[in-house]
Chains A and B, each alone.
Chain A
Amino acid sequence: MKKLLEISLGVVTSVGGFLEVGSIATAAQAGALFGFQLVWAVVLGTICIIFLVEMAGRFAAVSHHTIADGIRERFGFNAFIWPLLAALFVNFLVLSAEIGGVAIAAELATGVGFQWCALPVAFFVWLLLWKGTFGLIEKGMSMLGLVTLCFVAAAVMLHPDWKEVATGAVPNLPQHDTAKYWFMAVSILGASISPYLFMFYSSGGIEDQWDKTYIGANRAIAGLGMSFGGGISVGVLIVAALVLGAHGVTQVDDYNQLPLMLIPIFGFWGFVLFVVSLAIACFGAALEVALQQAYLVAQGFGWTWGEDLKPRDDPGFSLVYTLSVFLAAVPIALGLDPLKLTIFSMALTAASLPLTVVPFLFLLNDDHYVGEHCNGVISNAAVIFIIALGFVLALVTIPLQIFGGT
Protein backbone atom coordinates (compact mmCIF):
# COMPACT_ATOMS: atom_id res chain seq x y z
CA MET A 1 0.00 0.00 0.00
CA LYS A 2 2.81 2.38 0.94
CA LYS A 3 4.64 1.41 -2.25
CA LEU A 4 1.50 2.05 -4.30
CA LEU A 5 1.24 5.52 -2.82
CA GLU A 6 4.90 6.12 -3.54
CA ILE A 7 4.51 4.93 -7.12
CA SER A 8 1.55 7.22 -7.75
CA LEU A 9 3.41 10.12 -6.18
CA GLY A 10 6.42 9.31 -8.34
CA VAL A 11 4.30 9.13 -11.48
CA VAL A 12 2.62 12.44 -10.68
CA THR A 13 6.07 13.95 -10.07
CA SER A 14 7.42 12.81 -13.41
CA VAL A 15 4.30 13.93 -15.27
CA GLY A 16 4.37 17.36 -13.66
CA GLY A 17 8.11 17.63 -14.22
CA PHE A 18 8.17 16.46 -17.83
CA LEU A 19 7.12 19.60 -19.67
CA GLU A 20 9.68 22.41 -19.88
CA VAL A 21 10.49 25.24 -22.22
CA GLY A 22 12.11 22.92 -24.75
CA SER A 23 9.24 20.49 -25.10
CA ILE A 24 6.68 23.32 -25.26
CA ALA A 25 8.58 25.34 -27.87
CA THR A 26 9.61 22.44 -30.11
CA ALA A 27 6.17 20.78 -30.04
CA ALA A 28 4.45 24.11 -30.76
CA GLN A 29 6.74 24.91 -33.69
CA ALA A 30 6.38 21.43 -35.14
CA GLY A 31 2.59 21.42 -34.80
CA ALA A 32 2.19 24.83 -36.37
CA LEU A 33 4.27 24.07 -39.46
CA PHE A 34 3.77 20.33 -40.00
CA GLY A 35 0.43 19.50 -38.35
CA PHE A 36 0.47 16.04 -36.77
CA GLN A 37 3.35 14.84 -38.95
CA LEU A 38 6.02 15.01 -36.24
CA VAL A 39 4.08 13.20 -33.49
CA TRP A 40 6.45 10.28 -34.10
CA ALA A 41 9.43 12.31 -32.90
CA VAL A 42 7.72 12.91 -29.54
CA VAL A 43 6.77 9.24 -29.30
CA LEU A 44 10.27 8.03 -30.20
CA GLY A 45 11.89 10.50 -27.78
CA THR A 46 9.53 9.39 -25.00
CA ILE A 47 10.29 5.69 -25.52
CA CYS A 48 14.03 6.43 -25.37
CA ILE A 49 13.76 8.50 -22.19
CA ILE A 50 11.65 5.78 -20.51
CA PHE A 51 14.50 3.30 -20.97
CA LEU A 52 17.22 5.72 -19.87
CA VAL A 53 15.31 6.91 -16.80
CA GLU A 54 14.49 3.34 -15.77
CA MET A 55 18.19 2.41 -16.02
CA ALA A 56 19.35 5.53 -14.19
CA GLY A 57 16.90 4.79 -11.36
CA ARG A 58 17.82 1.09 -11.19
CA PHE A 59 21.53 1.98 -11.14
CA ALA A 60 20.98 4.36 -8.21
CA ALA A 61 18.71 1.98 -6.30
CA VAL A 62 21.06 -1.00 -6.52
CA SER A 63 24.52 0.61 -6.39
CA HIS A 64 23.72 3.73 -4.31
CA HIS A 65 25.74 5.61 -6.89
CA THR A 66 24.53 8.07 -9.50
CA ILE A 67 25.22 7.91 -13.21
CA ALA A 68 27.75 10.76 -12.88
CA ASP A 69 29.55 8.83 -10.09
CA GLY A 70 29.54 5.78 -12.29
CA ILE A 71 31.02 7.52 -15.33
CA ARG A 72 33.88 8.98 -13.29
CA GLU A 73 34.61 5.79 -11.37
CA ARG A 74 34.27 3.35 -14.24
CA PHE A 75 35.97 5.30 -17.03
CA GLY A 76 38.45 7.42 -15.08
CA PHE A 77 38.99 11.14 -14.88
CA ASN A 78 40.52 11.60 -18.32
CA ALA A 79 37.41 10.15 -19.97
CA PHE A 80 34.95 11.70 -17.52
CA ILE A 81 36.14 15.22 -18.31
CA TRP A 82 34.45 15.13 -21.77
CA PRO A 83 30.89 14.28 -20.69
CA LEU A 84 31.48 16.64 -17.72
CA LEU A 85 32.36 19.63 -19.89
CA ALA A 86 29.71 18.83 -22.50
CA ALA A 87 26.97 18.41 -19.91
CA LEU A 88 28.00 21.55 -18.00
CA PHE A 89 27.86 23.57 -21.22
CA VAL A 90 24.59 22.13 -22.54
CA ASN A 91 22.98 22.41 -19.09
CA PHE A 92 24.10 26.03 -18.90
CA LEU A 93 22.27 26.79 -22.16
CA VAL A 94 19.18 24.83 -21.10
CA LEU A 95 19.13 26.55 -17.70
CA SER A 96 19.39 29.89 -19.44
CA ALA A 97 16.49 28.91 -21.72
CA GLU A 98 14.35 27.84 -18.75
CA ILE A 99 15.04 31.11 -16.93
CA GLY A 100 14.11 32.81 -20.21
CA GLY A 101 10.85 30.86 -20.28
CA VAL A 102 9.88 32.04 -16.80
CA ALA A 103 10.97 35.58 -17.73
CA ILE A 104 8.74 35.50 -20.83
CA ALA A 105 5.82 34.30 -18.70
CA ALA A 106 6.53 37.19 -16.33
CA GLU A 107 6.60 39.60 -19.26
CA LEU A 108 3.27 38.27 -20.58
CA ALA A 109 1.74 38.63 -17.12
CA THR A 110 3.10 42.04 -16.14
CA GLY A 111 4.24 43.77 -19.31
CA VAL A 112 7.75 44.29 -17.92
CA GLY A 113 10.35 43.34 -20.55
CA PHE A 114 11.74 39.81 -20.14
CA GLN A 115 15.34 40.95 -19.81
CA TRP A 116 14.41 42.84 -16.63
CA CYS A 117 12.75 39.74 -15.21
CA ALA A 118 15.75 37.41 -15.71
CA LEU A 119 17.70 38.30 -12.58
CA PRO A 120 14.67 38.34 -10.23
CA VAL A 121 13.66 34.93 -11.65
CA ALA A 122 17.18 33.63 -11.05
CA PHE A 123 17.00 34.96 -7.51
CA PHE A 124 13.77 33.04 -6.77
CA VAL A 125 15.21 29.85 -8.26
CA TRP A 126 18.30 30.26 -6.11
CA LEU A 127 16.25 31.08 -2.99
CA LEU A 128 14.24 27.89 -3.31
CA LEU A 129 17.43 25.86 -3.76
CA TRP A 130 19.07 27.63 -0.82
CA LYS A 131 16.19 27.17 1.62
CA GLY A 132 14.20 24.26 0.18
CA THR A 133 14.58 20.51 0.58
CA PHE A 134 14.73 17.95 -2.19
CA GLY A 135 11.19 16.77 -1.43
CA LEU A 136 9.80 20.28 -1.68
CA ILE A 137 11.52 20.91 -4.99
CA GLU A 138 10.77 17.54 -6.55
CA LYS A 139 7.26 16.89 -5.28
CA GLY A 140 5.99 20.42 -4.66
CA MET A 141 6.99 21.94 -7.96
CA SER A 142 5.90 18.89 -9.93
CA MET A 143 2.45 18.90 -8.31
CA LEU A 144 2.04 22.47 -9.50
CA GLY A 145 3.30 21.27 -12.87
CA LEU A 146 0.11 19.27 -13.31
CA VAL A 147 -1.46 22.53 -14.54
CA THR A 148 0.23 21.68 -17.86
CA LEU A 149 -2.45 19.00 -18.27
CA CYS A 150 -4.57 21.88 -19.61
CA PHE A 151 -2.85 21.21 -22.97
CA VAL A 152 -4.21 17.67 -22.98
CA ALA A 153 -7.70 18.94 -22.06
CA ALA A 154 -7.48 21.51 -24.85
CA ALA A 155 -6.31 18.90 -27.35
CA VAL A 156 -9.25 16.64 -26.53
CA MET A 157 -11.75 19.52 -26.65
CA LEU A 158 -10.56 20.44 -30.13
CA HIS A 159 -11.74 17.01 -31.39
CA PRO A 160 -8.70 16.28 -33.54
CA ASP A 161 -8.91 13.57 -36.16
CA TRP A 162 -7.34 10.86 -33.98
CA LYS A 163 -6.72 8.66 -37.00
CA GLU A 164 -4.54 11.40 -38.43
CA VAL A 165 -2.72 11.80 -35.11
CA ALA A 166 -2.03 8.05 -35.08
CA THR A 167 -0.72 8.25 -38.66
CA GLY A 168 1.68 10.96 -37.51
CA ALA A 169 2.95 8.65 -34.77
CA VAL A 170 4.58 6.53 -37.49
CA PRO A 171 7.77 8.11 -38.91
CA ASN A 172 6.99 9.66 -42.29
CA LEU A 173 8.70 11.82 -44.89
CA PRO A 174 8.01 15.56 -45.21
CA GLN A 175 6.15 17.03 -48.18
CA HIS A 176 7.64 20.53 -47.79
CA ASP A 177 10.47 22.36 -45.94
CA THR A 178 12.56 19.19 -45.75
CA ALA A 179 15.56 20.66 -43.89
CA LYS A 180 13.30 22.40 -41.39
CA TYR A 181 11.33 19.19 -40.83
CA TRP A 182 14.42 17.22 -39.87
CA PHE A 183 15.81 20.06 -37.77
CA MET A 184 12.54 20.11 -35.81
CA ALA A 185 12.62 16.33 -35.44
CA VAL A 186 16.13 16.65 -33.98
CA SER A 187 15.09 19.46 -31.60
CA ILE A 188 12.08 17.45 -30.40
CA LEU A 189 14.30 14.43 -29.74
CA GLY A 190 16.77 16.69 -27.91
CA ALA A 191 13.97 18.15 -25.80
CA SER A 192 12.65 14.69 -24.88
CA ILE A 193 15.92 12.79 -24.34
CA SER A 194 17.54 15.32 -22.00
CA PRO A 195 20.69 14.17 -20.20
CA TYR A 196 19.82 16.45 -17.29
CA LEU A 197 16.57 14.52 -16.87
CA PHE A 198 18.05 11.04 -16.42
CA MET A 199 21.13 12.26 -14.54
CA PHE A 200 18.86 14.22 -12.17
CA TYR A 201 16.62 11.18 -11.77
CA SER A 202 19.53 9.02 -10.57
CA SER A 203 20.56 11.69 -8.05
CA GLY A 204 16.91 11.85 -6.95
CA GLY A 205 17.01 8.12 -6.23
CA ILE A 206 19.89 8.74 -3.82
CA GLU A 207 18.24 11.81 -2.26
CA ASP A 208 15.08 9.75 -1.68
CA GLN A 209 17.22 6.90 -0.26
CA TRP A 210 16.13 4.24 -2.71
CA ASP A 211 17.33 0.68 -2.29
CA LYS A 212 16.77 -2.61 -4.12
CA THR A 213 13.13 -2.75 -3.03
CA TYR A 214 12.45 0.22 -5.31
CA ILE A 215 13.31 -1.57 -8.55
CA GLY A 216 9.67 -2.35 -9.31
CA ALA A 217 8.48 1.10 -8.27
CA ASN A 218 11.21 2.66 -10.38
CA ARG A 219 10.07 0.71 -13.44
CA ALA A 220 6.46 1.82 -12.95
CA ILE A 221 7.42 5.44 -12.36
CA ALA A 222 9.69 5.57 -15.40
CA GLY A 223 7.18 3.87 -17.69
CA LEU A 224 3.97 5.57 -16.61
CA GLY A 225 5.42 8.95 -15.66
CA MET A 226 7.34 9.48 -18.88
CA SER A 227 4.48 8.16 -21.04
CA PHE A 228 1.99 10.57 -19.51
CA GLY A 229 4.59 13.34 -19.78
CA GLY A 230 5.07 12.57 -23.47
CA GLY A 231 1.27 12.69 -23.76
CA ILE A 232 1.32 16.31 -22.64
CA SER A 233 3.91 17.14 -25.30
CA VAL A 234 1.66 15.50 -27.92
CA GLY A 235 -1.17 17.63 -26.49
CA VAL A 236 0.85 20.81 -27.09
CA LEU A 237 1.61 19.66 -30.63
CA ILE A 238 -2.05 18.90 -31.41
CA VAL A 239 -3.22 22.25 -30.05
CA ALA A 240 -0.53 24.08 -32.01
CA ALA A 241 -1.51 22.23 -35.20
CA LEU A 242 -5.24 22.91 -34.84
CA VAL A 243 -5.09 26.46 -33.50
CA LEU A 244 -1.92 28.04 -34.86
CA GLY A 245 -1.38 26.03 -38.05
CA ALA A 246 -5.05 26.02 -39.04
CA HIS A 247 -5.21 29.81 -38.66
CA GLY A 248 -2.22 30.39 -40.90
CA VAL A 249 0.38 30.87 -38.16
CA THR A 250 2.98 28.39 -39.41
CA GLN A 251 6.15 30.15 -38.23
CA VAL A 252 6.35 30.30 -34.46
CA ASP A 253 9.35 32.56 -34.03
CA ASP A 254 8.11 34.78 -31.22
CA TYR A 255 6.98 33.77 -27.74
CA ASN A 256 4.09 36.24 -27.96
CA GLN A 257 2.40 33.96 -30.50
CA LEU A 258 2.26 31.03 -28.11
CA PRO A 259 -0.43 32.19 -25.63
CA LEU A 260 -2.85 32.41 -28.58
CA MET A 261 -2.87 28.61 -28.57
CA LEU A 262 -5.30 28.20 -25.70
CA ILE A 263 -7.49 31.29 -26.24
CA PRO A 264 -9.91 29.78 -28.81
CA ILE A 265 -10.68 27.00 -26.34
CA PHE A 266 -10.67 28.66 -22.93
CA GLY A 267 -11.07 32.34 -23.87
CA PHE A 268 -9.26 34.80 -21.57
CA TRP A 269 -8.54 31.98 -19.11
CA GLY A 270 -6.65 30.28 -21.92
CA PHE A 271 -4.16 33.14 -21.80
CA VAL A 272 -3.86 32.84 -18.03
CA LEU A 273 -3.48 29.05 -18.21
CA PHE A 274 -0.75 29.34 -20.81
CA VAL A 275 1.22 31.90 -18.81
CA VAL A 276 0.90 29.89 -15.59
CA SER A 277 1.84 26.63 -17.34
CA LEU A 278 4.88 28.21 -18.98
CA ALA A 279 6.01 29.82 -15.73
CA ILE A 280 5.63 26.71 -13.58
CA ALA A 281 7.02 24.25 -16.14
CA CYS A 282 10.11 26.38 -16.77
CA PHE A 283 10.61 27.29 -13.12
CA GLY A 284 10.50 23.63 -12.10
CA ALA A 285 12.93 22.69 -14.86
CA ALA A 286 15.26 25.57 -13.91
CA LEU A 287 15.41 24.21 -10.34
CA GLU A 288 16.23 20.73 -11.62
CA VAL A 289 18.89 21.82 -14.12
CA ALA A 290 20.60 24.09 -11.59
CA LEU A 291 20.65 21.27 -9.05
CA GLN A 292 21.93 18.90 -11.72
CA GLN A 293 24.92 21.19 -12.36
CA ALA A 294 25.82 20.96 -8.68
CA TYR A 295 25.20 17.19 -8.57
CA LEU A 296 27.39 16.67 -11.60
CA VAL A 297 30.38 18.57 -10.24
CA ALA A 298 30.06 17.30 -6.66
CA GLN A 299 29.65 13.67 -7.75
CA GLY A 300 32.37 13.90 -10.36
CA PHE A 301 34.90 15.11 -7.80
CA GLY A 302 33.55 13.06 -4.91
CA TRP A 303 32.47 15.92 -2.63
CA THR A 304 29.76 15.76 -0.03
CA TRP A 305 26.45 16.69 -1.62
CA GLY A 306 22.73 16.72 -0.91
CA GLU A 307 19.92 19.21 -1.30
CA ASP A 308 18.62 18.29 2.16
CA LEU A 309 21.87 19.41 3.80
CA LYS A 310 22.20 23.01 4.88
CA PRO A 311 24.36 25.08 2.51
CA ARG A 312 27.01 25.44 5.21
CA ASP A 313 27.34 21.65 5.36
CA ASP A 314 28.10 21.27 1.65
CA PRO A 315 29.62 24.64 0.65
CA GLY A 316 31.18 23.39 -2.60
CA PHE A 317 27.88 21.94 -3.81
CA SER A 318 25.93 25.10 -2.86
CA LEU A 319 28.46 27.31 -4.59
CA VAL A 320 28.05 25.43 -7.87
CA TYR A 321 24.28 25.86 -8.09
CA THR A 322 24.53 29.47 -6.93
CA LEU A 323 27.02 30.35 -9.68
CA SER A 324 25.10 28.28 -12.27
CA VAL A 325 21.80 30.05 -11.66
CA PHE A 326 23.13 33.59 -11.78
CA LEU A 327 25.50 33.01 -14.71
CA ALA A 328 22.68 31.41 -16.71
CA ALA A 329 20.50 34.48 -16.14
CA VAL A 330 23.10 36.75 -17.76
CA PRO A 331 22.39 35.99 -21.46
CA ILE A 332 18.66 36.57 -20.91
CA ALA A 333 19.30 39.76 -18.93
CA LEU A 334 21.39 40.94 -21.89
CA GLY A 335 18.36 40.45 -24.13
CA LEU A 336 19.15 37.17 -25.92
CA ASP A 337 15.93 35.84 -27.48
CA PRO A 338 14.75 32.98 -25.20
CA LEU A 339 12.93 31.16 -28.03
CA LYS A 340 16.01 31.08 -30.29
CA LEU A 341 18.17 30.00 -27.35
CA THR A 342 15.68 27.24 -26.50
CA ILE A 343 15.62 25.73 -29.98
CA PHE A 344 19.41 26.01 -30.27
CA SER A 345 20.04 24.38 -26.90
CA MET A 346 17.62 21.51 -27.64
CA ALA A 347 19.47 20.72 -30.88
CA LEU A 348 22.79 20.86 -29.03
CA THR A 349 21.39 18.55 -26.35
CA ALA A 350 20.66 16.01 -29.07
CA ALA A 351 24.20 16.38 -30.40
CA SER A 352 25.73 15.75 -26.95
CA LEU A 353 23.79 12.53 -26.35
CA PRO A 354 26.49 9.96 -27.25
CA LEU A 355 28.77 11.26 -24.48
CA THR A 356 26.23 10.60 -21.75
CA VAL A 357 24.44 7.57 -23.21
CA VAL A 358 27.39 5.36 -24.18
CA PRO A 359 28.36 4.89 -20.48
CA PHE A 360 24.92 3.35 -19.81
CA LEU A 361 25.88 0.32 -21.87
CA PHE A 362 28.87 -0.36 -19.60
CA LEU A 363 27.51 0.76 -16.24
CA LEU A 364 24.26 -1.19 -16.46
CA ASN A 365 26.16 -4.37 -17.38
CA ASP A 366 28.80 -4.04 -14.66
CA ASP A 367 27.99 -6.52 -11.90
CA HIS A 368 30.29 -4.58 -9.60
CA TYR A 369 27.57 -1.93 -9.50
CA VAL A 370 24.28 -3.57 -10.41
CA GLY A 371 24.99 -7.22 -9.52
CA GLU A 372 22.16 -9.47 -10.59
CA HIS A 373 20.11 -6.47 -11.73
CA CYS A 374 22.10 -6.05 -14.95
CA ASN A 375 20.40 -5.04 -18.17
CA GLY A 376 18.42 -7.71 -19.98
CA VAL A 377 18.42 -8.20 -23.73
CA ILE A 378 15.64 -5.65 -24.30
CA SER A 379 17.28 -2.88 -22.24
CA ASN A 380 20.64 -3.48 -23.91
CA ALA A 381 19.03 -3.42 -27.35
CA ALA A 382 17.35 -0.15 -26.37
CA VAL A 383 20.66 1.41 -25.21
CA ILE A 384 22.43 0.34 -28.39
CA PHE A 385 19.58 1.83 -30.43
CA ILE A 386 19.72 5.10 -28.46
CA ILE A 387 23.52 5.26 -28.86
CA ALA A 388 23.13 4.78 -32.63
CA LEU A 389 20.41 7.43 -32.69
CA GLY A 390 22.66 9.70 -30.62
CA PHE A 391 25.52 9.38 -33.10
CA VAL A 392 23.22 10.11 -36.04
CA LEU A 393 21.86 13.16 -34.21
CA ALA A 394 25.37 14.35 -33.34
CA LEU A 395 26.35 14.15 -37.01
CA VAL A 396 23.29 15.79 -38.55
CA THR A 397 22.56 18.51 -35.97
CA ILE A 398 25.11 21.10 -37.07
CA PRO A 399 24.34 20.85 -40.85
CA LEU A 400 20.60 20.93 -40.09
CA GLN A 401 21.09 23.91 -37.79
CA ILE A 402 22.62 25.78 -40.71
CA PHE A 403 20.06 24.79 -43.35
CA GLY A 404 16.88 24.28 -41.33
CA GLY A 405 17.37 26.34 -38.15
CA THR A 406 15.36 29.46 -37.51
Chain B
Amino acid sequence: MQLLRDILDKQVVDREQVKIGKVDGLVAELRQAKPPRVIAVELGSIALGRRLGAVPGRWAARLVARLSGKRQTRPHRIAWNKVRDIGVDIEFDIDVRQTKIFAWQDWLREHVIGRIPGA
Protein backbone atom coordinates (compact mmCIF):
# COMPACT_ATOMS: atom_id res chain seq x y z
CA MET B 1 0.00 0.00 0.00
CA GLN B 2 1.22 3.50 -0.78
CA LEU B 3 -0.06 6.23 1.51
CA LEU B 4 -0.20 9.01 -1.05
CA ARG B 5 -1.61 6.86 -3.83
CA ASP B 6 -4.05 4.69 -1.91
CA ILE B 7 -5.13 6.75 1.10
CA LEU B 8 -4.75 10.50 0.58
CA ASP B 9 -7.73 12.16 -1.17
CA LYS B 10 -9.84 8.99 -1.18
CA GLN B 11 -13.54 9.02 -0.29
CA VAL B 12 -14.25 8.41 3.41
CA VAL B 13 -17.45 6.64 4.43
CA ASP B 14 -18.69 5.73 7.91
CA ARG B 15 -20.05 2.37 8.96
CA GLU B 16 -23.46 3.22 7.48
CA GLN B 17 -21.76 4.02 4.15
CA VAL B 18 -22.54 7.74 4.60
CA LYS B 19 -20.12 9.88 2.57
CA ILE B 20 -18.39 12.11 5.12
CA GLY B 21 -15.52 13.65 3.16
CA LYS B 22 -12.23 12.88 1.49
CA VAL B 23 -8.96 12.13 3.25
CA ASP B 24 -7.68 15.70 3.30
CA GLY B 25 -4.55 14.98 5.36
CA LEU B 26 -2.56 12.23 7.04
CA VAL B 27 -1.08 12.30 10.54
CA ALA B 28 2.00 10.21 11.26
CA GLU B 29 3.81 9.66 14.53
CA LEU B 30 7.59 9.67 14.60
CA ARG B 31 9.04 6.98 16.79
CA GLN B 32 12.52 6.42 18.10
CA ALA B 33 14.45 3.77 16.17
CA LYS B 34 11.28 2.59 14.49
CA PRO B 35 9.62 3.67 11.22
CA PRO B 36 6.94 6.36 11.51
CA ARG B 37 3.40 5.15 11.92
CA VAL B 38 0.12 6.60 10.60
CA ILE B 39 -2.13 7.39 13.54
CA ALA B 40 -5.01 9.36 12.01
CA VAL B 41 -6.52 10.92 8.91
CA GLU B 42 -7.61 14.55 8.82
CA LEU B 43 -10.72 15.99 7.19
CA GLY B 44 -12.05 19.47 6.61
CA SER B 45 -11.14 22.90 5.37
CA ILE B 46 -8.16 23.47 7.69
CA ALA B 47 -6.47 20.30 6.50
CA LEU B 48 -7.24 21.29 2.90
CA GLY B 49 -5.90 24.79 3.41
CA ARG B 50 -2.65 23.34 4.74
CA ARG B 51 -2.37 21.22 1.60
CA LEU B 52 -2.16 24.41 -0.44
CA GLY B 53 0.47 25.96 1.80
CA ALA B 54 1.16 27.38 5.25
CA VAL B 55 -0.57 30.69 4.57
CA PRO B 56 -3.85 29.26 3.17
CA GLY B 57 -3.77 26.85 6.11
CA ARG B 58 -3.63 29.72 8.60
CA TRP B 59 -6.41 31.55 6.72
CA ALA B 60 -8.62 28.46 6.82
CA ALA B 61 -7.95 28.01 10.54
CA ARG B 62 -8.73 31.66 11.28
CA LEU B 63 -11.92 31.50 9.19
CA VAL B 64 -13.12 28.33 10.86
CA ALA B 65 -12.32 29.83 14.29
CA ARG B 66 -14.32 32.95 13.51
CA LEU B 67 -17.29 31.01 12.12
CA SER B 68 -17.41 28.55 14.99
CA GLY B 69 -16.69 31.17 17.67
CA LYS B 70 -13.77 29.25 19.16
CA ARG B 71 -10.31 30.56 19.92
CA GLN B 72 -8.41 27.63 18.54
CA THR B 73 -9.41 25.17 15.88
CA ARG B 74 -7.93 21.94 14.61
CA PRO B 75 -8.80 19.76 11.64
CA HIS B 76 -11.18 16.87 12.27
CA ARG B 77 -9.30 13.66 12.96
CA ILE B 78 -10.31 10.04 12.67
CA ALA B 79 -8.04 7.56 14.43
CA TRP B 80 -6.39 5.13 12.05
CA ASN B 81 -7.27 2.12 14.23
CA LYS B 82 -10.93 2.72 13.34
CA VAL B 83 -10.25 1.85 9.72
CA ARG B 84 -12.37 -1.05 8.57
CA ASP B 85 -11.88 -1.41 4.84
CA ILE B 86 -9.53 0.10 2.29
CA GLY B 87 -10.78 -0.13 -1.25
CA VAL B 88 -11.66 2.56 -3.74
CA ASP B 89 -13.39 4.12 -0.69
CA ILE B 90 -12.05 4.01 2.84
CA GLU B 91 -14.48 2.89 5.49
CA PHE B 92 -14.08 3.82 9.15
CA ASP B 93 -15.90 2.16 12.01
CA ILE B 94 -17.48 5.38 13.25
CA ASP B 95 -20.89 7.04 13.10
CA VAL B 96 -20.61 10.49 11.56
CA ARG B 97 -23.49 11.76 13.72
CA GLN B 98 -21.33 11.24 16.79
CA THR B 99 -18.51 13.39 15.39
CA LYS B 100 -18.27 17.11 14.71
CA ILE B 101 -17.39 16.59 11.04
CA PHE B 102 -20.88 17.51 9.83
CA ALA B 103 -21.41 20.27 12.42
CA TRP B 104 -21.47 22.93 9.69
CA GLN B 105 -23.97 20.94 7.64
CA ASP B 106 -26.15 20.60 10.76
CA TRP B 107 -25.89 24.34 11.35
CA LEU B 108 -26.85 24.95 7.72
CA ARG B 109 -29.83 22.62 8.03
CA GLU B 110 -31.05 24.26 11.18
CA HIS B 111 -30.51 27.90 10.27
CA VAL B 112 -30.79 28.14 6.48
CA ILE B 113 -31.93 25.14 4.46
CA GLY B 114 -34.48 23.86 6.98
CA ARG B 115 -36.15 27.25 7.13
CA ILE B 116 -36.96 27.29 3.42
CA PRO B 117 -40.39 25.71 2.82
CA GLY B 118 -40.34 22.24 1.35
CA ALA B 119 -36.92 21.25 2.66
Are A301 and B109 also in contact (CB < 8 A) when A76-B9, A77-B51, A130-B118 are?
Answer: no
Q: Which of A124-174 contact B (CB under 8 A)?
A: 130-131
Q: Residues 101-114 of chain B: 1 if any A CB is under 8 Å from the residue's CB, otherwise 0?
A: 00011101100111
Cross-interface CB contact of B112 among A78, A81, A319, A368, cutoff 8 Å = A319
Q: Residues 294-337 of chain A: 1 if any B CB is under 8 Å from the residue's CB, otherwise 0?
A: 00000011111100001110011011000000000000000000
Bound Cα distance from A312 to B112, whole angstroms: 10
Q: Residues 80-115 of chain B: 1 if any A CB is under 8 Å from the residue's CB, otherwise 0?
A: 000000001000000000000000111011001110
Q: Which of B5-46 contact A (CB under 8 A)?
A: 8-12, 18-22, 24, 43
B11 contacts A77, C-beta separation under 8 Å: no
Residue A89 lies at the interface, judged by CB distance under 8 Å to chain B = no
Which segment, of A47-55, A65-73, A90-98, faces chain B?
Answer: A65-73
Residue of A nearest to B4 (CB): A76
Cross-interface CB contact of B22 among A64, A301, A368, cutoff 8 Å = A301
A302 contacts B11, C-beta separation under 8 Å: yes
Chain A residues with CB below 8 A from B113, complex form? 311-312, 315, 318-319
Residue B116 lies at the interface, judged by CB distance under 8 Å to chain A = yes
Are A303 and B118 also in contact (CB < 8 A) when A73-B9, A73-B11, A319-B108 are?
Answer: no
B19 contacts A302, C-beta separation under 8 Å: yes
Residue B54 lies at the interface, judged by CB distance under 8 Å to chain A = no
Residue B52 lies at the interface, judged by CB distance under 8 Å to chain A = yes
Are A65 and B12 also in contact (CB < 8 A) when A304-B18, A311-B113 are?
Answer: no
A311 contacts B116, C-beta separation under 8 Å: yes
Bound Cα distance from A74 to B51, whole angstroms: 15
Are A315 and B109 also in contact (CB < 8 A) when A302-B21, A302-B22, A368-B88 are?
Answer: yes
Indicate the size class of the contact surface on chain A. 20 to 34
B51 contacts A78, C-beta separation under 8 Å: yes
Residue of B nearest to A79 (CB): B9
Q: A375: shortest Cβ distance to chain B, in Å?
A: 18
B21 contacts A131, C-beta separation under 8 Å: no
Bound Cα distance from A174 to B43, whole angstroms: 54
Bound Cα distance from A272 to B48, whole angstroms: 51
Bound Cα distance from A136 to B43, whole angstroms: 34
Residue A380 lies at the interface, judged by CB distance under 8 Å to chain B = no
Residue A369 lies at the interface, judged by CB distance under 8 Å to chain B = yes
A316 contacts B52, C-beta separation under 8 Å: no
Chain A residues with CB below 8 A from B43, complex form? 302
Residue B119 lies at the interface, judged by CB distance under 8 Å to chain A = yes
Are A303 and B19 also in contact (CB < 8 A) when A73-B9, A130-B116, A318-B113 are?
Answer: yes
B105 contacts A316, C-beta separation under 8 Å: yes
Chain A residues with CB below 8 A from B108, complex form? 315-316, 319
Chain B residues with CB below 8 A from A304, complex form? 18-20
Binding site for A on B (CB under 8 A): 4, 8-12, 18-22, 24, 43, 48, 51-52, 88, 104-106, 108-109, 112-114, 116, 118-119
Binding site for B on A (CB under 8 A): 63-65, 69, 72-78, 80-81, 130-131, 300-305, 310-312, 315-316, 318-319, 368-369
Would you give 21 A-B contacts (Cβ < 8 Å), ordered by A? A69-B11, A72-B9, A75-B9, A76-B9, A77-B9, A77-B22, A77-B24, A77-B48, A77-B51, A130-B118, A302-B12, A302-B19, A302-B21, A303-B19, A303-B105, A311-B116, A311-B119, A312-B109, A315-B113, A315-B114, A316-B104
